[in-house]
Amino acid sequence: MKISRGQLQEIVRRITESDSYIGDLQDHVNYLYETGAIVDALEVRFSSGQVMLTRDVNGDEDTVGEFYSQEEFYSGEPLDDFRTVLNLERECEEAYIEVRDEFPGAGLEVINYAMLHDDDLWGKGIGKLAYQQLIHDAGKDGNVIVPHWCSHGGTTSGQARRLWDKLRSGYQTTGPILIPDNLNL
């Protein structure tokens, strides 16, 4: 569905001014629905490391968005165990070692999967808020977070990489690693 320039500007303003995430994500998709920027009402559900967006289709639940992260290296583990636990791309491995020097005990979480299945939902700030929730959850659990391409053999779409690069400007970073504002050590 096409949205007006004014609606898009309001969407961008709302996202930019956002301090919290999951409540804002539900409010945000409600706003998009109420203004006609998206066709269907969506329900947002989450648990630590998971954000799901669903819609009702004739009484059946249809998943339209899925975002998952997983803790890969646990906070508090000795760093010398690191190489035996993970198989990271070199750039990410070096960045994580730097992070552990600055934040001893920080764990590592990887975004394993992020997808909005309905391309009418793309470009409306939904993915950004879902990623921010995963980042917040990682910090609460004592973890820093990286995109899937950091895992050896992992992939990240061009669209997800562009979003990750935009998110980097709002967080402390070391290489590709985002350090959540709420990192709980």
Could you read off the pLDDT of 66-85 as tens digits, one per residue?
Answer: 999 988 765 555 555 555 45
Between residues 84 and 55, the one the model is more confident about: 55
Between residues 92 and 79, the one the model is more confident about: 92
- Whole-angstrom Cα distance, residue 51 to residue 74? 21
Mean pLDDT of the chain: 83
Is the model's pLDDT at 14 over the cut of 70? no
Between residues 113 and 17, the one the model is more confident about: 113
**How far is CA 22 from each of CA 27, 49, 120, 136, 179, rounded to the nearest angstrom?**
9, 12, 20, 10, 19
- Whole-angstrom Cα distance, residue 148 to residue 142? 19
User: Considering the entire predicted model, what is its pTM?
Assistant: 0.81
Q: Each residue of 17-54: pLDDT tens digit?
A: 554 455 678 888 998 998 888 999 999 988 888 899 99
Average pLDDT value for residue range 3-11: 66
- Whole-angstrom Cα distance, residue 109 to residue 177? 10
Q: Which of 10-19, 101-110, 130-139 has the lowest mean pLDDT?
A: 10-19
- Whole-angstrom Cα distance, residue 160 to residue 106? 24
Write the Ramachandran bin of 39: left for phi over 0, alpha for psi from -120 to 50, otherwise beta: alpha
Q: Which of 54-58, 79-83, 148-152, 177-181 has the lowest mean pLDDT?
A: 79-83
Q: CA 129: distance to chain centroid?
A: 7
pLDDT at 185: 87
The one-letter amino acid at 53: L
Is the model's pLDDT at 3 over the cut of 50? yes
Is the model's pLDDT at 13 over the cut of 70? no
